[in-house]
Structure 1
Amino acid sequence: MKRIVLLVATNLAIMLVLGIVSTLTGAHRFFAGSGLDLGTLLLFALIMGFGGAFISLLMSKTIAKWSTGAHVIDTPGNSTEFWLIETVRRFADKAGLPMPEVAIYEGEPNAFATGASRGSSLVAVSTGLLQSMTREEAEAVIAHEVAHIANGDMVTLTLIQGVVNTFVIFIARVVGWLVDSFLRRGSSEDSGPGIGYTITVIVCDIVFGILASIIVMYFSRQREFRADAGAAQLMGTPRPMMAALRRLGGIDSGDLPKNIATAGITDRPGWMALFSSHPPIAERIAALENAR
């Protein structure tokens, strides 16, 4: 019910663009004679990897508003908006957070939180969620999103994304150099990358980037358990969060736009579960039950 796929998808797009541009324009910097300068490559991978992750983090709130059409509530226009702002404020105060921006967007039951830091965050709730849930259940969902902010999940996931980005960039270019060296064996040219390097790196950036997202999604699923527990703590009992999860499991969650869509409301079967940002609802309810 939030924003992890936004971070991953934006990061993957940024890394793909940066990777292609750097490969086409600056790959020669990693070559020393006929070998590969691993030190320079590692430094480049660190800068690119963490740079891409933090760029996507800084863009996350703006893209979230744009992609969902979320309307930030500056002045409440009705009782529902007033209740929503006051609910977010109450949980933010209880969690020791600055007041996040609060937004509503049109759509099926869903919600998300995003932002580059605890002091620059956004909690957005869909009209479908407000209409289909009891106030107590909706409060639990809001508490869950506030708990994500309090836990610093966006920054944590960004750091994890930066690490896997670094490995993707580094390994892709090592593989590219090996393939290029194999294709050009016996060639009179003794330095610089060839077309084999360029094509291999672009393909590896895409494939390894997708595989790396499995790692990020694993950590995302662990963060969901923590956010559920945080919601239970903010609510004073796990019962409302469990009720909200049960209701979400029994209704059509709909889809957010592709770059912010999450898999948290419905379970993904088989190997697709590896790409899910949320654990199965049954596991989340069980975890809350066991913590009682």
Structure 2
Amino acid sequence: MARTRFIPDRGLTVRMATTMVLLALVYAAFVVALLWAGMPWWLVLLVVGGVALVQYFASDRIAMAALGAREVTPQQDPELHAVVDRLCALADMPKPKVAVAHTDVPNAFATGHSRGSTMVCVTTGLRRRLDNVELEAVLAHELSHVAHRDVAVMTVAAFLGIVAGFLVQAGTRFALLTGGGRSREGGPAPAVIALLVVVISAIVWALSFLLTRALSRYRELSADRAAAYLTARPSALSSALVKISGDMARIPTQDLRQVEPFNAFFFTPALSGKGVSLSALLSTHPPTEQRLAQLAEISRQLGRGA
């Protein structure tokens, strides 16, 4: 991570590096398998390369547009900028861009594929529900993601799953449309090739899904720790978590489903399972109870050190 006053997290660094290496191996095997299945090399290059470029360079703008967020200047929102300025000075880190999303869904997120494109965004619903101390704690959590550079890693890690998911849908439709006849050259039927692509893509999607979900859950716990130690107010982050989790149940399900695809980048998921269940194991975030327990332990440690 970049040099800041956020506590370093070797576990996060190791997990990010391991995830990227494993995904690179899966990615290489994915390309080879697609070529083996009979997919033209130019189509593989077009789909895989094209989606990679869009995901890396445009994912942040796509997310901002989908959530209706816009960048705000210090003149437009001096209060929000003052909080970010104070935290960046405390953490000794460059200040990212600041944005506001006009939605009642209470949340915050950080995005950006490079240092120059990083941005922290809060929703109007979040600001309406939290006091200044709680808002500062949530923004410290998001700035920790920026400092640890796990936003960029998650952006890259998500790309493989997007490609695989696209090929599963496209291959299924193609197989249904072409039927089971043999090709004109006497080789395998186009439908057979399409089904091979679907099977390969489904396996790759599942592997990338599990890898990125495991990394996502750990990075949220890491950001909670870093924010709690930086502000020395773990109780403020706990209070924000309780408020947001409780109020999320009162938001219309339709509104929550509209923002659910961006769960991996949110402070807390828009929709999530509770307790130890399959949905919790596959979630982008650890259970709220686990996050609160960690913050309670940090509070005890800070109390003993005082």
Is TM (by shorter chain) over 0.5? yes
Aligned length: 244
- What is the deviation of 1:125? 0.6
- What is the deviation of 1:28? 4.6
Query: Mean alpha-carbon deviation: is it higher for 142-151 or for 211-220?
Result: 211-220
Unaligned runs of 5+ in 2: 1-26, 169-179, 302-306
Deviations 1:173-226 (A, max 9, x none): xxxxxxxxxx99xx9x78678531222203532454145212211110000011
The code of the aligned residue for 1:227 comes to A
The counterpart of 2:262, out of the listed 235, 242, 260, is 260
- What is the deviation of 1:99? 1.8
Q: Is the 8 A contact 1:267 1:279 kept in 2?
A: no
Q: Is the 8 A contact 2:72 2:100 kept in 1?
A: yes
Deviations 1:12-35 (A, max 9, x none): xxx9xxx9xx87xx72559xxxxx
In structure 2, the CA distance between the partners of 1:285 and 1:194, relative to structure 1 (3 Å rule), is same
In structure 2, the CA distance between the partners of 1:207 and 1:258, relative to structure 1 (3 Å rule), is farther
1:58 corresponding residue in structure 2: 57
For the pair 1:216 / 2:212, whether they are aligned, the reply is yes
Report percent identity of matched pairs.
Answer: 29
2:292 corresponding residue in structure 1: 285
2:191 corresponding residue in structure 1: 195
Q: Is the 8 A contact 2:113 2:155 kept in 1?
A: no
1:38 corresponding residue in structure 2: none
1:248 corresponding residue in structure 2: 244
- What is the deviation of 1:134? 1.3
2:112 corresponding residue in structure 1: 115
Q: Report the Cα distance in structure 2 between the residues aligned to 1:252 and 1:105, rounded to whole angstroms.
A: 16
In structure 2, the CA distance between the partners of 1:201 and 1:151, relative to structure 1 (3 Å rule), is same
- What is the deviation of 1:103? 1.2
Q: Is the 8 A contact 1:50 1:165 kept in 2?
A: no
Instruction: Please state whether the residue corresponding to 2:284 is helix, strand or coil.
Output: coil
For the pair 1:27 / 2:24, whether they are aligned, the reply is no
The code of the aligned residue for 1:91 comes to L
What is the correspondence of 1:1-292 to structure 2 with a 5 Å cutoff? 27-29=39-41, 52-53=51-52, 55-77=54-76, 81-106=77-102, 107-161=104-158, 194-206=190-202, 208-252=204-248, 254=251, 255=256, 257-261=259-263, 264=269, 267-269=272-274, 270-291=277-298, 292=301
Q: Report the Cα distance in structure 2 between the residues aligned to 1:221 and 1:54, rounded to whole angstroms.
A: 26
Instruction: Please state whether the residue corresponding to 1:27 is helix, strand or coil.
Output: coil
TM-score, length basis structure 1: 0.68
Query: Mean alpha-carbon deviation: is it higher for 58-67 or for 141-150?
Result: 58-67
Aligned CA RMSD, in angstroms, stands at: 3.9
Deviations 1:233-269 (A, max 9, x none): 2212322112211222222264253432456366414
Q: Report the Cα distance in structure 2 between the residues aligned to 1:285 and 1:193, rounded to whole angstroms.
A: 55
- What is the deviation of 1:165? 8.2
Q: Report the Cα distance in structure 2 between the residues aligned to 1:74 and 1:150, rounded to whole angstroms.
A: 21
In structure 2, the CA distance between the partners of 1:157 and 1:105, relative to structure 1 (3 Å rule), is closer
Instruction: Please state whether the residue corresponding to 2:109 is helix, strand or coil.
Output: strand
Q: Report the Cα distance in structure 1 between the residues aligned to 2:191 and 2:105, rounded to whole angstroms.
A: 47
Unaligned runs of 5+ in 1: 1-14, 31-43, 173-182
Q: Is the 8 A contact 1:49 1:164 kept in 2?
A: no
In structure 2, the CA distance between the partners of 1:245 and 1:50, relative to structure 1 (3 Å rule), is farther
TM-score, length basis structure 2: 0.66
Q: Report the Cα distance in structure 1 between the residues aligned to 2:281 and 2:52, rounded to whole angstroms.
A: 21
